[in-house]
Structure 1
Amino acid sequence: MKKFGYQQANIDHTLFIKHRAGKVTLLIIYVDDMIVTGDDTIEIEGLQKHLASEFEMKDLGSLKYFLGVEVTRSKHGLFLSQRKYVMDLLADIGMLDCKPADTLIVENHKLGVYVDQVPTNRERYQKLVGRLIYLSFTRPDIAYASAPGRGLLFKKNSHLDLESYTDADYAGNITDRRSTSSYFTFVGGNLVTWRSKKQNVVSQSSAESKYRGIAQGVCEILWLRWLLTEIDFRPNHATKLHCNNQSAFENC
Protein backbone atom coordinates (compact mmCIF):
# COMPACT_ATOMS: atom_id res chain seq x y z
CA MET A 1 0.00 0.00 0.00
CA LYS A 2 2.82 2.41 0.82
CA LYS A 3 4.54 1.70 -2.52
CA PHE A 4 1.26 2.57 -4.25
CA GLY A 5 1.22 6.00 -2.64
CA TYR A 6 -0.88 5.33 0.45
CA GLN A 7 -0.07 6.45 3.98
CA GLN A 8 -0.72 4.25 6.99
CA ALA A 9 -2.83 6.13 9.52
CA ASN A 10 -1.08 6.86 12.80
CA ILE A 11 -4.31 6.65 14.77
CA ASP A 12 -5.36 3.27 13.30
CA HIS A 13 -2.75 1.06 11.66
CA THR A 14 -5.37 -0.92 9.72
CA LEU A 15 -6.36 2.24 7.82
CA PHE A 16 -4.57 3.43 4.67
CA ILE A 17 -5.18 6.87 3.16
CA LYS A 18 -4.39 8.57 -0.13
CA HIS A 19 -5.09 12.21 -0.98
CA ARG A 20 -5.11 13.17 -4.66
CA ALA A 21 -6.39 16.26 -6.45
CA GLY A 22 -8.42 17.38 -3.45
CA LYS A 23 -10.07 13.97 -3.09
CA VAL A 24 -9.49 11.10 -0.68
CA THR A 25 -9.47 7.29 -0.90
CA LEU A 26 -9.58 5.09 2.19
CA LEU A 27 -8.85 1.40 2.67
CA ILE A 28 -9.39 -0.37 5.98
CA ILE A 29 -8.52 -4.03 6.36
CA TYR A 30 -9.23 -6.82 8.86
CA VAL A 31 -7.25 -10.02 8.14
CA ASP A 32 -8.46 -10.81 4.58
CA ASP A 33 -11.56 -8.58 4.48
CA MET A 34 -11.38 -4.94 3.44
CA ILE A 35 -13.48 -1.88 2.71
CA VAL A 36 -12.49 0.67 0.04
CA THR A 37 -14.30 4.00 0.03
CA GLY A 38 -13.82 7.66 -0.86
CA ASP A 39 -14.80 10.29 -3.43
CA ASP A 40 -12.02 9.56 -5.95
CA THR A 41 -13.57 7.01 -8.33
CA ILE A 42 -10.53 6.94 -10.62
CA GLU A 43 -8.19 6.18 -7.72
CA ILE A 44 -10.54 3.50 -6.37
CA GLU A 45 -10.53 1.72 -9.75
CA GLY A 46 -6.74 1.94 -9.89
CA LEU A 47 -6.45 0.58 -6.35
CA GLN A 48 -8.68 -2.38 -7.16
CA LYS A 49 -6.56 -3.26 -10.18
CA HIS A 50 -3.37 -2.90 -8.16
CA LEU A 51 -4.65 -5.20 -5.40
CA ALA A 52 -5.92 -7.74 -7.95
CA SER A 53 -2.42 -7.88 -9.48
CA GLU A 54 -0.87 -8.66 -6.08
CA PHE A 55 -3.51 -10.91 -4.48
CA GLU A 56 -6.32 -13.24 -5.41
CA MET A 57 -9.36 -11.17 -4.51
CA LYS A 58 -13.01 -10.61 -5.35
CA ASP A 59 -14.89 -7.32 -5.61
CA LEU A 60 -18.24 -7.75 -3.85
CA GLY A 61 -19.57 -4.37 -4.99
CA SER A 62 -21.28 -1.88 -2.69
CA LEU A 63 -20.88 -2.61 1.00
CA LYS A 64 -23.68 -4.85 2.27
CA TYR A 65 -22.10 -7.17 4.85
CA PHE A 66 -18.84 -6.90 6.77
CA LEU A 67 -17.70 -8.91 9.79
CA GLY A 68 -21.25 -9.76 10.84
CA VAL A 69 -22.58 -6.24 10.28
CA GLU A 70 -25.31 -5.71 7.67
CA VAL A 71 -25.37 -2.37 5.81
CA THR A 72 -28.52 -0.97 4.18
CA ARG A 73 -28.65 2.25 2.18
CA SER A 74 -31.64 4.55 1.82
CA LYS A 75 -32.41 8.20 1.12
CA HIS A 76 -32.13 8.79 4.87
CA GLY A 77 -28.58 7.43 5.21
CA LEU A 78 -26.89 4.17 6.25
CA PHE A 79 -28.52 1.62 8.55
CA LEU A 80 -26.27 -0.87 10.36
CA SER A 81 -27.64 -4.00 12.03
CA GLN A 82 -26.54 -7.50 13.05
CA ARG A 83 -29.77 -9.42 12.45
CA LYS A 84 -28.08 -12.47 10.89
CA TYR A 85 -25.53 -12.50 13.72
CA VAL A 86 -28.38 -12.45 16.25
CA MET A 87 -30.26 -15.28 14.54
CA ASP A 88 -27.09 -17.41 14.34
CA LEU A 89 -26.42 -16.76 18.03
CA LEU A 90 -29.96 -17.79 19.01
CA ALA A 91 -29.68 -20.94 16.89
CA ASP A 92 -26.38 -21.92 18.54
CA ILE A 93 -27.79 -21.63 22.08
CA GLY A 94 -31.13 -23.28 21.23
CA MET A 95 -33.30 -20.18 21.66
CA LEU A 96 -34.36 -19.59 18.06
CA ASP A 97 -38.03 -19.85 19.02
CA CYS A 98 -37.80 -17.33 21.89
CA LYS A 99 -39.90 -14.18 21.88
CA PRO A 100 -38.40 -10.65 21.73
CA ALA A 101 -38.32 -8.84 25.07
CA ASP A 102 -38.89 -5.13 25.64
CA THR A 103 -36.73 -5.19 28.78
CA LEU A 104 -34.16 -7.85 29.61
CA ILE A 105 -32.99 -6.61 33.01
CA VAL A 106 -34.27 -4.09 35.50
CA GLU A 107 -32.74 -0.62 35.21
CA ASN A 108 -30.17 0.25 37.90
CA HIS A 109 -29.84 -3.44 38.75
CA LYS A 110 -26.83 -4.04 41.03
CA LEU A 111 -24.61 -6.93 39.98
CA GLY A 112 -22.39 -8.66 42.50
CA VAL A 113 -21.09 -11.93 43.94
CA TYR A 114 -23.50 -13.78 46.24
CA VAL A 115 -22.68 -16.78 48.44
CA ASP A 116 -25.83 -18.66 47.41
CA GLN A 117 -25.15 -18.42 43.67
CA VAL A 118 -25.50 -21.65 41.68
CA PRO A 119 -22.36 -22.48 39.61
CA THR A 120 -22.76 -22.35 35.84
CA ASN A 121 -20.87 -23.61 32.79
CA ARG A 122 -18.08 -21.01 32.81
CA GLU A 123 -16.80 -21.64 29.29
CA ARG A 124 -20.29 -21.51 27.75
CA TYR A 125 -21.15 -18.38 29.74
CA GLN A 126 -17.97 -16.54 28.70
CA LYS A 127 -18.53 -17.45 25.06
CA LEU A 128 -22.10 -16.11 25.18
CA VAL A 129 -21.04 -12.88 26.92
CA GLY A 130 -18.30 -12.34 24.34
CA ARG A 131 -20.77 -12.70 21.49
CA LEU A 132 -23.21 -10.33 23.18
CA ILE A 133 -20.43 -7.78 23.59
CA TYR A 134 -19.73 -8.01 19.86
CA LEU A 135 -23.45 -7.59 19.23
CA SER A 136 -23.25 -4.21 20.98
CA PHE A 137 -21.36 -2.98 17.89
CA THR A 138 -24.74 -1.88 16.52
CA ARG A 139 -26.79 -2.41 19.68
CA PRO A 140 -25.51 -0.23 22.55
CA ASP A 141 -28.85 -0.87 24.29
CA ILE A 142 -28.59 -4.68 24.16
CA ALA A 143 -28.75 -5.06 27.96
CA TYR A 144 -32.14 -3.39 28.19
CA ALA A 145 -33.92 -4.10 24.88
CA SER A 146 -33.96 -7.06 22.51
CA ALA A 147 -35.19 -7.31 18.91
CA PRO A 148 -33.11 -8.89 16.11
CA GLY A 149 -33.70 -6.19 13.49
CA ARG A 150 -32.75 -3.13 15.51
CA GLY A 151 -29.57 -1.21 14.77
CA LEU A 152 -28.06 2.22 14.16
CA LEU A 153 -29.06 4.79 11.55
CA PHE A 154 -26.37 7.16 10.30
CA LYS A 155 -28.23 10.13 8.83
CA LYS A 156 -26.99 12.48 6.13
CA ASN A 157 -26.33 15.69 8.04
CA SER A 158 -24.61 18.86 6.89
CA HIS A 159 -21.88 18.96 9.55
CA LEU A 160 -19.20 16.82 11.22
CA ASP A 161 -19.30 18.41 14.68
CA LEU A 162 -18.15 16.26 17.61
CA GLU A 163 -20.17 16.00 20.80
CA SER A 164 -19.60 13.73 23.79
CA TYR A 165 -21.63 12.76 26.86
CA THR A 166 -19.95 11.27 29.93
CA ASP A 167 -21.23 9.82 33.19
CA ALA A 168 -20.26 7.52 36.05
CA ASP A 169 -22.09 5.84 38.89
CA TYR A 170 -20.57 6.29 42.35
CA ALA A 171 -19.52 3.04 44.07
CA GLY A 172 -21.93 1.13 41.84
CA ASN A 173 -20.31 -2.25 42.36
CA ILE A 174 -21.67 -3.67 45.60
CA THR A 175 -18.71 -6.06 45.98
CA ASP A 176 -15.65 -3.79 45.68
CA ARG A 177 -17.37 -0.35 45.68
CA ARG A 178 -15.74 0.71 42.42
CA SER A 179 -17.54 3.06 40.07
CA THR A 180 -18.29 2.49 36.38
CA SER A 181 -17.39 5.18 33.82
CA SER A 182 -19.26 5.58 30.56
CA TYR A 183 -19.32 7.83 27.51
CA PHE A 184 -20.90 8.04 24.10
CA THR A 185 -19.78 10.26 21.24
CA PHE A 186 -21.53 11.77 18.23
CA VAL A 187 -19.94 12.79 14.92
CA GLY A 188 -22.14 14.82 12.60
CA GLY A 189 -25.14 14.12 14.82
CA ASN A 190 -24.66 10.32 14.64
CA LEU A 191 -23.63 7.98 17.44
CA VAL A 192 -20.24 6.47 16.54
CA THR A 193 -18.54 5.31 19.76
CA TRP A 194 -19.63 4.30 23.24
CA ARG A 195 -18.15 2.48 26.21
CA SER A 196 -18.73 1.59 29.85
CA LYS A 197 -15.92 0.26 32.03
CA LYS A 198 -15.39 -0.28 35.72
CA GLN A 199 -12.79 2.08 37.15
CA ASN A 200 -9.44 0.69 38.34
CA VAL A 201 -9.57 2.36 41.74
CA VAL A 202 -12.22 3.23 44.33
CA SER A 203 -13.34 6.85 43.95
CA GLN A 204 -13.70 8.74 47.20
CA SER A 205 -16.53 10.98 46.02
CA SER A 206 -19.17 11.28 43.34
CA ALA A 207 -17.24 14.17 41.77
CA GLU A 208 -14.09 12.03 41.53
CA SER A 209 -15.95 9.19 39.81
CA LYS A 210 -17.50 11.67 37.34
CA TYR A 211 -14.09 13.26 36.74
CA ARG A 212 -12.61 9.90 35.78
CA GLY A 213 -15.51 9.41 33.38
CA ILE A 214 -14.79 12.82 31.83
CA ALA A 215 -11.12 11.86 31.40
CA GLN A 216 -12.06 8.76 29.40
CA GLY A 217 -14.47 10.80 27.29
CA VAL A 218 -11.75 13.34 26.52
CA CYS A 219 -9.38 10.57 25.38
CA GLU A 220 -12.05 9.34 22.95
CA ILE A 221 -12.65 12.88 21.67
CA LEU A 222 -8.93 13.36 20.98
CA TRP A 223 -8.77 10.03 19.12
CA LEU A 224 -11.71 10.97 16.92
CA ARG A 225 -10.38 14.46 16.21
CA TRP A 226 -7.02 13.01 15.15
CA LEU A 227 -8.74 10.41 12.98
CA LEU A 228 -10.91 13.00 11.23
CA THR A 229 -7.87 15.19 10.69
CA GLU A 230 -5.90 12.34 9.10
CA ILE A 231 -8.67 11.66 6.58
CA ASP A 232 -8.85 15.41 5.82
CA PHE A 233 -12.09 16.19 7.68
CA ARG A 234 -10.61 18.39 10.39
CA PRO A 235 -13.32 19.55 12.86
CA ASN A 236 -14.08 23.26 12.52
CA HIS A 237 -15.48 23.73 16.02
CA ALA A 238 -14.55 22.87 19.57
CA THR A 239 -16.03 19.62 20.83
CA LYS A 240 -18.89 19.89 23.31
CA LEU A 241 -18.40 17.71 26.38
CA HIS A 242 -21.41 17.06 28.62
CA CYS A 243 -21.42 15.91 32.24
CA ASN A 244 -24.11 16.17 34.93
CA ASN A 245 -21.74 17.05 37.79
CA GLN A 246 -20.70 20.67 38.28
CA SER A 247 -17.93 19.85 40.77
CA ALA A 248 -16.22 17.56 38.25
CA PHE A 249 -16.21 20.31 35.60
CA GLU A 250 -14.82 22.85 38.02
CA ASN A 251 -11.83 20.55 38.60
CA CYS A 252 -11.12 20.08 34.90
Structure 2
Amino acid sequence: MKSNVYLFTKFKNGSSLFVLVYVNDIINTGDSDDAILLVIQQLNIKFALKNKGELHYFLGVQITKTASGDLVLSQEKYDKDLLKKVDMEHCKPCSTPLPSSIKFSAFGGSTFKDPKLYRSVGSLQHLTVTHPELAYCVGKVSHFMQNSLDEH
Protein backbone atom coordinates (compact mmCIF):
# COMPACT_ATOMS: atom_id res chain seq x y z
CA MET A 1 0.00 0.00 0.00
CA LYS A 2 1.32 3.45 -0.91
CA SER A 3 1.37 6.09 1.76
CA ASN A 4 0.90 9.81 1.56
CA VAL A 5 4.16 11.40 2.70
CA TYR A 6 2.30 14.57 3.72
CA LEU A 7 -0.20 12.96 6.08
CA PHE A 8 0.90 11.64 9.46
CA THR A 9 -1.49 9.65 11.62
CA LYS A 10 -1.45 8.28 15.14
CA PHE A 11 -4.00 5.89 16.58
CA LYS A 12 -3.57 5.10 20.27
CA ASN A 13 -5.98 4.02 23.01
CA GLY A 14 -8.99 4.52 20.73
CA SER A 15 -7.91 8.07 19.89
CA SER A 16 -7.03 9.42 16.43
CA LEU A 17 -4.63 12.20 15.49
CA PHE A 18 -3.92 13.55 11.99
CA VAL A 19 -1.19 15.98 10.92
CA LEU A 20 -1.23 17.17 7.31
CA VAL A 21 1.81 19.07 6.04
CA TYR A 22 1.75 21.08 2.80
CA VAL A 23 4.88 23.16 2.11
CA ASN A 24 4.94 25.38 5.20
CA ASP A 25 1.34 24.89 6.32
CA ILE A 26 0.29 22.31 8.89
CA ILE A 27 -3.20 21.10 9.71
CA ASN A 28 -3.43 19.26 13.02
CA THR A 29 -6.70 17.60 14.02
CA GLY A 30 -8.04 14.65 15.90
CA ASP A 31 -10.52 13.59 18.52
CA SER A 32 -8.36 14.55 21.52
CA ASP A 33 -7.69 18.21 22.29
CA ASP A 34 -4.83 17.19 24.61
CA ALA A 35 -3.12 15.16 21.86
CA ILE A 36 -3.49 18.04 19.40
CA LEU A 37 -2.01 20.50 21.89
CA LEU A 38 0.89 18.14 22.64
CA VAL A 39 1.80 17.88 18.93
CA ILE A 40 1.72 21.67 18.62
CA GLN A 41 3.98 22.05 21.66
CA GLN A 42 6.43 19.45 20.35
CA LEU A 43 6.58 21.00 16.88
CA ASN A 44 7.01 24.45 18.38
CA ILE A 45 10.24 23.27 20.07
CA LYS A 46 11.85 22.60 16.65
CA PHE A 47 10.04 25.10 14.43
CA ALA A 48 8.74 28.64 14.77
CA LEU A 49 5.00 28.00 14.49
CA LYS A 50 2.31 30.57 13.96
CA ASN A 51 -1.11 29.42 15.11
CA LYS A 52 -3.72 30.81 12.75
CA GLY A 53 -6.60 29.45 14.82
CA GLU A 54 -9.52 27.45 13.50
CA LEU A 55 -9.18 26.15 9.96
CA HIS A 56 -11.54 27.87 7.51
CA TYR A 57 -9.85 27.71 4.09
CA PHE A 58 -7.04 25.52 2.78
CA LEU A 59 -5.86 25.03 -0.82
CA GLY A 60 -9.15 26.23 -2.32
CA VAL A 61 -11.28 24.18 0.06
CA GLN A 62 -13.55 25.83 2.63
CA ILE A 63 -13.82 24.00 5.95
CA THR A 64 -16.84 24.54 8.17
CA LYS A 65 -17.28 22.96 11.58
CA THR A 66 -20.82 21.88 12.44
CA ALA A 67 -22.36 22.15 15.91
CA SER A 68 -21.68 18.41 16.41
CA GLY A 69 -17.97 18.94 15.59
CA ASP A 70 -18.03 17.40 12.12
CA LEU A 71 -16.07 19.09 9.34
CA VAL A 72 -17.81 19.97 6.08
CA LEU A 73 -15.62 20.52 3.00
CA SER A 74 -16.78 22.82 0.22
CA GLN A 75 -15.27 24.60 -2.77
CA GLU A 76 -18.11 27.09 -3.23
CA LYS A 77 -15.82 30.15 -3.20
CA TYR A 78 -13.36 28.43 -5.55
CA ASP A 79 -16.29 27.43 -7.82
CA LYS A 80 -17.59 30.99 -7.98
CA ASP A 81 -14.14 32.50 -8.55
CA LEU A 82 -13.47 30.04 -11.38
CA LEU A 83 -16.83 30.73 -13.04
CA LYS A 84 -16.18 34.47 -12.80
CA LYS A 85 -12.71 34.01 -14.36
CA VAL A 86 -14.27 32.42 -17.45
CA ASP A 87 -17.22 34.87 -17.54
CA MET A 88 -19.78 32.18 -16.64
CA GLU A 89 -20.92 33.35 -13.19
CA HIS A 90 -24.55 33.41 -14.35
CA CYS A 91 -24.60 29.90 -15.82
CA LYS A 92 -27.16 27.35 -14.67
CA PRO A 93 -26.20 24.07 -12.97
CA CYS A 94 -26.89 20.67 -14.46
CA SER A 95 -26.75 17.22 -12.89
CA THR A 96 -24.55 15.63 -15.59
CA PRO A 97 -22.21 18.11 -17.23
CA LEU A 98 -21.21 15.75 -20.05
CA PRO A 99 -22.93 12.64 -21.39
CA SER A 100 -20.62 9.61 -21.37
CA SER A 101 -21.66 8.76 -24.95
CA ILE A 102 -20.27 11.97 -26.48
CA LYS A 103 -17.40 11.59 -28.95
CA PHE A 104 -15.01 14.48 -29.48
CA SER A 105 -12.64 14.90 -32.38
CA ALA A 106 -9.31 16.69 -32.39
CA PHE A 107 -9.96 17.94 -35.95
CA GLY A 108 -12.57 20.07 -37.66
CA GLY A 109 -14.62 22.83 -36.15
CA SER A 110 -13.57 26.27 -35.00
CA THR A 111 -10.44 26.75 -32.90
CA PHE A 112 -11.17 27.90 -29.36
CA LYS A 113 -10.52 31.66 -29.17
CA ASP A 114 -8.36 31.58 -26.01
CA PRO A 115 -6.14 28.45 -25.88
CA LYS A 116 -4.40 29.72 -22.72
CA LEU A 117 -7.74 29.84 -20.91
CA TYR A 118 -8.62 26.36 -22.15
CA ARG A 119 -5.27 25.03 -20.92
CA SER A 120 -6.08 26.18 -17.40
CA VAL A 121 -8.03 22.91 -17.10
CA GLY A 122 -5.93 22.20 -13.99
CA SER A 123 -8.28 24.57 -12.18
CA LEU A 124 -11.08 22.18 -13.05
CA GLN A 125 -9.07 19.17 -11.91
CA HIS A 126 -8.77 20.80 -8.49
CA LEU A 127 -12.58 20.98 -8.33
CA THR A 128 -12.83 17.19 -8.43
CA VAL A 129 -11.70 17.19 -4.77
CA THR A 130 -15.26 18.01 -3.69
CA HIS A 131 -17.01 17.39 -7.02
CA PRO A 132 -16.07 13.85 -8.07
CA GLU A 133 -18.91 13.88 -10.60
CA LEU A 134 -16.78 16.26 -12.68
CA ALA A 135 -13.82 13.86 -12.99
CA TYR A 136 -15.06 12.23 -16.20
CA CYS A 137 -15.76 15.43 -18.13
CA VAL A 138 -12.59 17.17 -16.88
CA GLY A 139 -10.54 14.17 -18.00
CA LYS A 140 -12.31 14.15 -21.36
CA VAL A 141 -11.72 17.82 -22.17
CA SER A 142 -8.11 17.70 -20.94
CA HIS A 143 -7.28 15.43 -23.90
CA PHE A 144 -7.62 18.43 -26.22
CA MET A 145 -5.39 21.01 -24.56
CA GLN A 146 -2.99 21.15 -27.54
CA ASN A 147 -5.75 21.59 -30.13
CA SER A 148 -8.82 22.96 -28.40
CA LEU A 149 -11.93 23.55 -30.44
CA ASP A 150 -15.17 25.35 -29.59
CA GLU A 151 -17.00 22.01 -29.25
CA HIS A 152 -14.57 20.93 -26.52
Provide TM-score, normalisation by structure 2: 0.70
Alpha-carbon spacing, 1:106–1:42, altered in 2? closer, same or farther (3 Å): closer
Q: Which residue number corresponds to residue 46 of structure 2?
A: 54
Q: Which residue is equivalent to 2:76?
A: 83
Residues of 2 paired with 1:104 and 1:18: CA distance?
Answer: 39
Look up the match of 2:118: 125
Structure 2: tracts of 5 or more residues without a match: 141-152
Deviation at 1:137, TM superposition (A): 0.9
Is structure 2 residue 62 aligned with structure 1 residue 70?
A: yes
- What residue is the counterpart of 2:36 in the other structure? 44
Matched residue, 2:10: 18
Structure 1 residue runs of 5 or longer lacking an equivalent are: 1-8, 144-181, 183-195, 198-252
Partner of 1:100: 92
Aligned match of 1:225 = none
- SS of the residue 2:64 aligns to: strand
CA RMSD in angstroms, aligned pairs only: 3.0
Give 1:89 deviation, angstroms. Answer: 1.4
Structure with higher strand content: 1
How does 1:1-252 map onto structure 2 within 5 Å? 11-75=3-67, 77-96=70-89, 98-102=90-94, 105=97, 107-113=99-105, 115-120=107-112, 121-127=114-120, 129-142=121-134
Q: CA separation in 1, counterparts of 2:33 and 2:107?
A: 62
Q: 1:69 to 1:15 in 2, by over 3 A?
A: same
Amino acid at match of 1:125: Y
Moved more, 82-91 or 104-113: 104-113
How many Å separate the matches in 1 of 2:74 and 2:6?
A: 23
Which structure has more helix as a fraction of its residues? 2
Partners of 2:60 and 2:75 within 8 A in 1: yes
The alignment's TM-score, normalised by the length of structure 1, stands at 0.45
- TM superposition shift of 1:19: 4.3
